[in-house]
Amino acid sequence: MKVSSIKLNFILNTIRLCMGAFFLLITTPYISRILGAQNLGKVDYATSIINYFILFTALGIPAYGIREIARIRDSIFERTKLVLELGIILFVNTVIGFFILLFLVNTIPILKGSKMLILIMSSWVLFNNIGLEWFYQGMENQLYITIRFIVIRIIVIILMFLWVKTPEDFYKYAFILVLMNSGSNILNLINIWKYLSFKGIKWDILNLKKHIRSILIIFIGTLSISIYLQLDVVMLGNIGSEYVAYYTVPNKLLRLVLVLITAFGNVLLPRISNCIQKKDKENYKRYTNLSLKYILLLSIPSMVGIFFLADSIIFVMAGVNFTISILTMRILCIILFVVGIAYFLGYQILYPHGLEKYYTLSVTIAAITNFVFNYIMIPKLKQNGAALGTVLAEIIGVLIMLYFTKEYLKEISFYKKENLKYFFAAIFMGCFICGIRFLNLGIFTRLLLSIIVGFITYFGSLFMMKEILVITIISNIITRILKRREA
């Protein structure tokens, strides 16, 4: 089967990221101002509950499915068999999880307060798993994913501005969030049949049992990661919905940046898994080194830049009512680097090698410490306590993963001194950004100027230090420009 080039997949993935950033830039300021901290916090709290049920019903199949589809994608018989096996597990678990959700929301007092919101969003649990997003990722069908993503986001933006106009419209906002995610999954289900063939497939050849162990191991790891992302929100919701909003606004913005940082790794995960399956060590090393450089190239300057620009970012994106979130963002921005490294170690080293048990152990220990830190710090420091707990837990997780991957890291450029170039360039960039803060400029103008100057100084510094990835990118751009002029 013909597989798209990594360059094309990366371009398409970048287009989705840009669209996602545009979506966030358009909707976040509007929704934050219209709904306010309290109502926005209610929706975020209900979303965190729904996300737990999505996590439990999906088990570890999304990550497992990408790897397994990538390994056998050239055989239509094998991939059809795999889709049926994993699909049956998903269907049974989803139905059970949905009815458990309905039962709990009618019996647990703390959930009854958000009953209407949770019921509105409950269909998200049903539709999440039928889309089989992992199949398209494993097949590296980035073109379809990109077109679908753009169409759904455009529809959602229109609906948000048409329907959400007062603070009382937070129920409509919740429904739109469901539509944004469920719409994609319905399209996935309609489109998937052209990739499958049921010729020769019989029920007695299906083997669901062989997947259970790996799925459960990955699920435990996924659950632990979700604790980072959801437990702090749930614990904050217990002391006040406004604290949820003060935390989730900077957290959402940073998570968007993290999506950009890990974008190339998402593209490479199926390819790396395929290289390991074929024992292609040369391309494996090339892809992992490329992924590492990309993560360092983006995560380090993003962390430094956001630390210095947190006040301007919060004022522009959420307004003065969210001033309290500035310190929260400065604490949380550390995760851009730490999670970037964790993603590399987990999804570029451990997962492709079938060592998910070590990844799961790392994030489980980190999740336990995250709970302990949150329990101690959230009552005293509110949203800042949640931010500190998340950062400390992520650091612990990375340290454990470094131990388990030490032999594999010797084969690539992880510990080479040349990686320090990214830190030096980011510090140099930070000096310029600090200087701009003293200029008498408006908030938006200062933010825009800081981003432009920071971009130029950072990449200019790396170019002067002859960083290979930057030189390659700039050389390719210059070559394309010259070819167009000659044409």
What's the average pLDDT block by block, 10 residues per block, for the chain (487 residues)?
64 78 82 86 85 84 83 82 88 90 87 86 84 79 82 90 91 90 81 80 82 85 72 80 84 85 76 76 82 90 93 84 89 93 89 84 89 89 90 93 88 81 92 88 89 92 85 77 69
The number of beta carbons lying within 10 Å of the beta carbon of residue 83 is 19
Give pLDDT, residue 263.
77
Residue 16: closest CA among 127, 143, 134: 143
Q: How many C-alpha atoms does 341 have within 13 Å on its Cβ side?
A: 20
What residues contact residue 394 under an 8 Å CB cut-off, 6+ apart? 228, 334, 335, 338, 339, 342, 366
C-alpha pair distances (Å), 484 with each of 7, 8, 260, 478, 487: 20, 20, 29, 10, 5
Looking at residue 398, what is its pLDDT? 94
Q: Which residue has the tokens 């920071």?
A: 454
Residue 204 burial by Cβ neighbours in a 10 Å radius (0-12, 13-18, 19+): exposed
pLDDT at 3: 54
> Alpha helices, DSSP H only, in 164-231?
170-191, 209-226
Rounded Cα–Cα distance for residues 36 and 44 (Å)? 12
Predicted pLDDT of residue 222: 76
Which of 375, 354, 374, 46 lies closest to 218, judged by CA?
354
Cα 5 to Cα 10, 14, 38, 141: the distances in Å are 9, 14, 46, 11
State the pLDDT at residue 486. 65
Greatest alpha-carbon pair distance for the chain in Å reads 74
Look at residue 301 in the predicted model and tell me its pLDDT. 94
* pTM across the whole model: 0.73
Give the per-residue pLDDT at 197: 79
Q: pLDDT at position 322, please?
A: 86
Distance of CA 4 to the CA centre of its chain: 23
CA dist., res. 172 & res. 181, Å (int): 15
Q: CA 187 → CA 23, 130, 213, 366, distances in Å?
A: 20, 10, 30, 36
**Which residue from 15, 31, 54 is spatially nearest to 169, judged by alpha carbons?**
31
Q: Residue 166 half-sphere exposure, CB side, CA atoms within 13 Å?
A: 1
